[in-house]
Each structure stands twice: as C-alpha cells, then as structure tokens.
Chain A
Amino acid sequence: MEPLLHGVQGFIYPNEIELQWSILIVLYPFITGLVAGAFILASLERVFNVRAVKPTYRLALLTALAFLLIAPLPLQLHLGHPERSLEMFLTPHTTSAMAMFGFMYLWYLLIVLVLEIWLDFRRDIVMMAREKTGAARLFYRVLALGSDNISAESLKLDDKLGRFLTFIGIPSAFLLHGYVGFIFGSIKANPWWSTPLMPIVFLFSAMVSGIALVMLMYMLTSWFRNRPPDMDCLDTIGRYLLYAFIIDFGLEMVDLLHRIYESDESFRTLDFMVRTHLYTSHILIQIILGTILPIGLLAVVQLVQLQESARRTLYAIAGSLTLIGIFAMRWNVVIGGQLFSKSFLGYTTYKMGFATREGVLPALVLMALPFVILWILVKILPPWREE
C-alpha cells in the first residue's frame, strides 16, 4: 500500500487507490469492437448490396471469427478460474447483463459467424475434400459434414440462408458491442461512464475500428500475395470509414458538449483529469492523432484527385491511426473512469506491470493471438479461392 500512495493526489477512498480494471479490460471492448465492426463491413456487401467491397467479404468474416474467439480471454485472465465461466450457462442469472452476455456471445459465435462462414465456404470445402488426399481430405469431409452436394440448387439455398443470417447478424453485432457500452453506461456511480450515449458511441467506434482493421488486413494480404488491391474496393471502404468516423466523432463531441453545458457536480474533477492525467492519451492520441488526423486524411482522398499509390499510402496511415485512436478511446474510458475518486477530491495513478498476469506482456500476446488464428483460418479456408 505504501508505494501505491505515492501515486495518489488529494483525498481518495482506500478502495480506489489501486485500479481493479487493468489493460486487459481495455483490450476486451477493443477486440469485441473489431469483431462487430468487421461483421458490419461484411454485411454491407450481403445485405446492402455494396458490390465494391466484395473482395473483403470473406476476409472480414474470418477476421471477425479470429477476434471473437479471443474476445473472452482477457476477461478470463483478469478474473481467473476460467472453469467457473461455465456456471454462467448452467445456472443463468437473468437479471444480470454481464451474465446474459454469455448467451449473446454464444449465439453470435455459433449461429451467426460460424454458420455463415460455413455456408459461404461450403462450396470450397466440398471442392477441397474432392481435390485433397489423406488426412486433409478427411478433415475437409468432416468440415463439409460428409456432404458432397454442391448442386446449383443447394448453393442457392445456402446463399438464401446466409443472407438471412447476415440480416439477423446485424442486430446481433449491434447487441454484441452495444452491450459493452451498456455495461459501462449503466454504472451510475461513475460519472465518467454513466451516460445513455455510451452504447451508441461504443457501437460507432466499433464500426470505425472494424472497418479500419479489415481495410488494413485486405491491403496486407494483397501485398503478401503480390496482388494489387482492388482500388474500387479500397476507395469504397475508405468512404464508409469516413462516414462512420464522422458519426462517431460527432457523437463523442455531442457527449462532450453536453457534459460541459450540463456541468454537474463531477464536471470540475473530470475536466481537470482530462487536462492533466489523461491529456496525452485523450487529447493528443485519441482526439488529435487518432480521430481528427485520420478523418482529415480520408477527407483529402475524397476532395483531391490522387494517384493510386498515394491513396493506398493515405489509407494505410489513416487505418493505422484509426486503430490507435480507438484503442486510446477504450483506454480512456476504462482507465480514465478509475483515476478519479468518487469523492471528486482526488486522483490515483495506473501502474501497469510488465510480465504480470494483467501486465503489458499478456496483453501483447492476447493481441497477437487473433492474427495467428486468422493466419490458420486463411490456410484452412482461403478467402480468395474463387478468383
């Protein structure tokens, strides 16, 4: 306790000195946001008939799956005793949003993502079961559930069912990430979190981060495969990223203006926190570097006629900055909400470990895992096979 007190300013209650929600809890909304955003980008093609983004459709689905598989791990690592998470399904607690989210997660993973990917890749799976030999053949046969039927009629049925799944997948993706915002927004004792705008802000920032991630993954995979990325597709994604970003930024500014105008009893404390403790991560990284700059870069592409290579570079920079900015947003919400005392009279400091259970190292490993899973998924189900 003694060394921790050096990070404390002013008056603080004893249970507020040490932060309970660590960087792992920052990762959790970041990762689920990427899932929801990637899925919503995929649904653009399927439900809203935006043909230009078709080259990213399957990659977006696989990306969403890779990240969704990892999404609960930060929570498991933070809480410990992963075996107890099963109790959530065995004895459901219907009045707790956190407990019911287990079912939401399962529904989204199994019914929406896995089933949709299976339907979409079924033709490829059957074709590979026919072409391969030995263990690989057996593997693909099991994946195809022993079916060898890829008649036009059966594929039409798959497409119809897949479209229906995407249709119910959009509200599911909204719920998936809206929930994360809901959890923070409904903590009435914390003025930094408690706002009904929270689920909506989280949702739009999720779309922004997911679209940026799929855009970067598409450019990266094209580069690995020595193929030029489809510029029409990239331009369309860039445009949607800009639209989503403007709405997201607008919502955050509405929230900010409302807080300033309302100036309730917590305002002076939060205002001081943003100007001091959170200045780098909130003002510099989240707002200037991670929001205004990428919006500006994406807007330049819309306003000025640029060469393909220049556009590609701008998209790569804007996409990377976007991901940094959205990560900073999650950081500022989760960590920022625990830096000030609920007495509004003091502040504490977040001391992050390195190779501890909730330190930087496990966070980096958790952040790298989805890319490993995606690499395996792409090996099993190459999303560009139909070209």
Chain B
Amino acid sequence: MSVGSGVPVIEGRKLAKSFRGPGKQLVQALDDVSFAVMPGTLTALVGPDGAGKTTLIRLMAGLMIADAGELTVLGFDVKGDPQAIQDRIGYMPQRFGLYEDLSVQENLDLYADMHGVSAQDRRARYPMLMEMTALGPFTRRLAGKLSGGMKQKLGLACTLVRAPDLLLLDEPTVGVDPLSRRELWDIVSRLVREEGVPVLLSTAYLDEAARCEHVMVLHQGKLLSQGPPSAVSGLADGRVFDVQSDGGEPARELQARLLDEPDVLDASPEAGRVRIVRREGAPEDPGAGSAGLRFSPVPARFEDGFMVLLQPNAGQAGPAKDDAADMKLEHPPAADAGQPVIEVDKVVKRFGDFVAVDQISFQIRRGEIFGLLGPNGAGKTTTFRMLCGLLRPTSGGLKIAGADLKRSPASARQKIGYVAQKFSLYAQLSVAENLDFFASAYGLYGARRRQRIDWAMAQFQLGPIANQLGGQLPGGYKQRLATAAALLHEPDILFLDEATSGADPLARREFWRRITALAQQGVTVIVTTHFMVEAEYCDRIAILDSGRVLAQGSPAEIRARGATASNAQPTMEDAFIAVIEAARAPSPNERAA
C-alpha cells in the first residue's frame, strides 16, 4: 500500500469529544486519547458499552469533528479534509448501512458507482467478493430479506468493492451467530494478510480482540491500554486458575460461590469447571481454606487481563457483585423442582410454504436454565415467540405451566416474564412510570404494587435514575429495567431473548449472576444467546437449525459432540459449529444424487 511501513495510518493526539446528554449535562465521550495504528495491522478497539468506541471510529471516518486534539488518517488531517479520507477508506457502521429495499447486487453496484469502480475492475472484483462472502446465489435477493450474518457480510462486501487504503468496522459481529462470525473473521484476516489492508474494528467479543495484532482498550472515554493482546493478558499472568470441585458441585453454583470470595476478581464457568482470576495481592496458595476444590494454574487469556484492567474502574459500570447475587424473591415458585413446566410436543410452525419450526419437542423442568442456541434463521425466535404465546403453532402441543397459553391467556401469562432482544419498554416513560405500568398490567395494586416496585428499584439499583426516560438510559440500565419489569409479578418462568446481545463482558457477568440466583430459587429460565460461553450457565441446551432440534442435553453432553482426534477438549463454540456443520453436510444419498 502507498503508506510507508514506518508511518502510522491513523494517529490521534489528545483527542477529546463531548456530547450533550439527555439532561443537558455534558457527557465526555472521549478524553485525552492518544494512539497510533500502524500499516498492515489488524487492530481491535474494545471496551464496555458507552466507552466511546463508536465515537472514536466516527472521528476517524470524518463523520464527527473532535473538540480538541489532532487526528490524522492516511496522512490527512481529519478536521481539514474529511473528504480526502472518505475517498480512500472503507467504513462499515454498526447499523449495516444497507438499503434493505435494494437487492444484494444493487447495493454492491451503488457502492461501486460511489467509489467510481470501472466496469473491468468490477468484473475482476465481484467474483472474488462473492466467493469470499458466499453471497453468490443470493445476488437478486433484497438486502432486507437476508439473515443478520448475511447482511453483515454484504455490508463488508460493499465497503470492499474497491481495495480501500484502510478499513474501519464498528462492531461487525454483534448479533451474528458463531458460524457467520467465523466466516466474517476469515474475510477480515485474509484482507490483512493477503492484501495488506490495515483494519481497525471494535468488538464486544474479547476472544476476537485476542486474535488481533494490536488492541486498544477504551473505558469511560479514556484509553486504558494499547499494544499487543499479550500486554493485556500479561496483567493476569499467574493469577488465573482452573477450579474443579471434588464433590461434583455444578459449575454454575461453584462459580457463584467463588465470585463471592474476596480474593476472586472474576469467575466464569467453562467446560464443566470454573475459571477464576484472583485479585492482586491475594494469598499465594489459592486452595487455602477451600476444601474439596482443586486449583490448577492456567495461562492467562486476553479476557482475564481485560477484567484485571477494568475491575478498579468498574465502580460505575456495574453494581458491586453482592447486590446482583442478592436477588431474593418474596414468593419463590413452589418447590416442586424437577416437574416439567414447559412441554413442547412435535410443534410445527409454517409461514405459507416456509416451515420455520419443524416438529420440535423438548421439556423444561422447574428451576432449570434452558438454552436455545442456533445460527441466525434457525427458528429460535419463532420457537421463542410460540413459547411466549405471541405466535400460534401450526400444529403440535405446547403447554406452559400446565396451561395452553392460547386458551387461558390471562392466567397463564400471569406466570411468565419476558425480556425481549431489543429494549421494548416505553421509551417516553420514566423508569418509575414503566415499572408502575407493568406492575398494574400484571394486576398488582395498592400496597402490594408499591412494595414490588420498591423491591425492583432496590434490587436493580434503579432508584437514582427513577425519573429518567426509558429511552435515554445507557444500554446496561435498559437491560436492568427490562429485567426488573419482567420480575415485578414474580413469574415462575422467565424468557430471555438474546438479552445480552451487544452487551459488554462486565454487564454480562452481572446479568448472569442475577439469572443464576433466580434459578436457584426455583424460577425456570429459557434463554437464547449467540455467546457460546454463556451456554455454560445453562442446565440444558438445545441446538436448532432449519427449524429442527439437532442436539439436546447438558453443556457437557453437547461439548462432547465437538470432540475430535485433534481437539479432545472442545469449547462450546467448537461443539456448536461441529453439530451444525454435521447436520448441514449433504447426506451420503444426496451426495450420490
């Protein structure tokens, strides 16, 4: 590329940017940020929600101008000549930027015309892009009809209609299933490796950051660290352990218990065991005082280092972990654990000719956390909507808490709580008004309503923001408010649809702590998620694809299906991909035909 290897492609010095917040107060989105991105590298920008990632990328793309500091991209001053930069870079915003009422081909052509790509260049470039993105068979399909993963790939293809001098990607993998995520990564790394295009991307997946050559960690507008990922993981060196219980204690409960230990900075379930990061200055021997637990040191990962880096700053991002754990219900569901509360029997859902859900069956017992996994378009959402009574099955039996949701709706729905994928409370109403409305909707009134709202305000620390409008809350608070509203009436069953999509690692940790605490009190929880590590929190998982259940069982059982000769200890993600690919591979007779 034209830029010499020694000169940074992007260089920022003391960048600052602030916005007017909802209450007219100034919010500092970026504060004194200085960095350099070298040519030919893959750079990741990581940090919790609201850290300033999108703002920084928009500054680089010349879509915003910094309040202070200097920023040069490809040698051009952003403030002076944003157009010169926009002529040369590729940029994919968080919200695709595709025209949904245009076909795949029309979207590509539009961007090729914008970049002045000649007809002969197109002939060379299009087949390559099609091969890269596997969108070849769908060129005439409208972009709006593509699945989430395909949209992202098309968005990427549109920015690559000509070889850019620099590629900026804002959270390209949010809401994308593991399979598509892997494909997207293949494209990006090929681009850097083979074409030498420098790429900067922001991500909430810390394992993705670990694959980059250069990582910048942003937190509350400040750059906490920049350098190779090993610099971050190095922070946790010698403090990471794999913990296994001799007594066969479930990983989820062990994780919850370990998180409460003062010496433990972070704990997460993984492959039936628990991975912990110990605090700085904790006693040498991790096993001291914990009988029946085996601690084995393991090499630190990027994520461990990230937790170490952020933990001292976590004060505002999330409540102290003890609060999250103390999710005491006043009237926990009746203690008949083990009874099936959800029975799905050969349920089919057709939309016209299209079979979205094809004869699925499963049972969920009281107090279980049940995970519904699957690639985009597998039928998860349809199944979920049928379980909540939002859709009527075409055929088959569906019983929730012993009732048919369609027949005796009011009383059956009284027993369920639902947290949707996207924030779905009233944006125009304040936090308190939202809670008040949903309490009334669930038939709570008088002193009881007051009491439950107070409970929710206290449990989710919503008191200080009670008068803020729902729509203006930061992502993490929206999530808490939605969960609080779904728990006001103390439901027996809680439905969570991709509730952690796009959330940062800290918020996810906090979220799961609440969910496991609820499950311990007998609440049945059904979740869908694209984070395979979260599947480790579940008691049982079902993997769906093309409307069918491909695999069902405990996390350990599912993981076992991913084991190969070369990979004896597969992660949940390995297993997931193995299951899907095995099912998608053409059967022997098909191959013969």
- A and B interact: no
Interface residues of A (CB under 8 A from B): none
